[in-house]
Homo-oligomer: A and B are copies of this chain.
Amino acid sequence: MEEKEISKAVIARLPRYYRYLQDLLEEGIERISSNELSKQMQVTASQIRQDLNNFGGFGQQGYGYNVQYLYEEIGKILGLDKEHNIIIVGAGNLGQALANYVEFEKKGLIIKGIFDVNPRLIGNTVRGIEIHMIDEMEDFIRKNRIEIAALTVPKSKAEDMAKLLVQYGVKGIWNFANIDLHTIEGVVVENVHLSESLMRLSYRTSKYIKETESRK
């Protein structure tokens, strides 16, 4: 593969390609044309050809893409060919839901432990992953080379917890708390703001209902 710079916009679309390619692999499909992939992903075929051209000449006219090869190449760019160790901070329903996602492990994203402040949870496990107390977190992060922490603590605790995580060596925070973590330095933050997502849906749904009613 050529070592050229891939644009941010393309990178942002790669996880979605990766997901579709994984589905195709699981269905036993070895080759796919840009037109077929276009239909499935509802992206134009020319967009797909442009995006995938970044990975060298393996989409042959009339022959299609090699699914396995493309899957692996995109995986390498996303860093999924190496293992990345993760902890979950907060063992509530959301933390447990994340711990139960086996999909992550297939992508080399390994959940090593779960942390909480509730002493009644000591030693409990979720899908074999042990729940530890917060005071063990520093040691655990260093010993297990944890890169990423999923933060599922209440909003009021999120900022302090994020600071601790960075101090202990975490480099990426997957933030589910309903707050931005602007003030935290020395770490990459990816926000999942569920309430904003639901508000967007509520807006779009209300609009859709109004439009369909006015057409009656």
Contact = CB atoms under 8 A, between A and B. Distances in A.
Interface of A: 11-12, 14-16, 18-19, 23, 40-42, 77-80, 82, 84, 92-94, 96-98, 100-101, 103-104, 107, 109, 147-148, 171-172, 174, 178-180, 182, 187-188, 190, 192-209, 212
Assembly stoichiometry (copies): 2
* Secondary structure class of chain A's binding surface, majority of residues: helix
11 contacts: A19-B193, A84-B205, A94-B97, A97-B97, A101-B195, A103-B195, A148-B202, A188-B208, A190-B197, A192-B192, A192-B197
Contact of A16 (B11, B100, B196, B208): B196
Contact of A147 (B78, B82, B180, B205): B205
Nearest to A100: B93
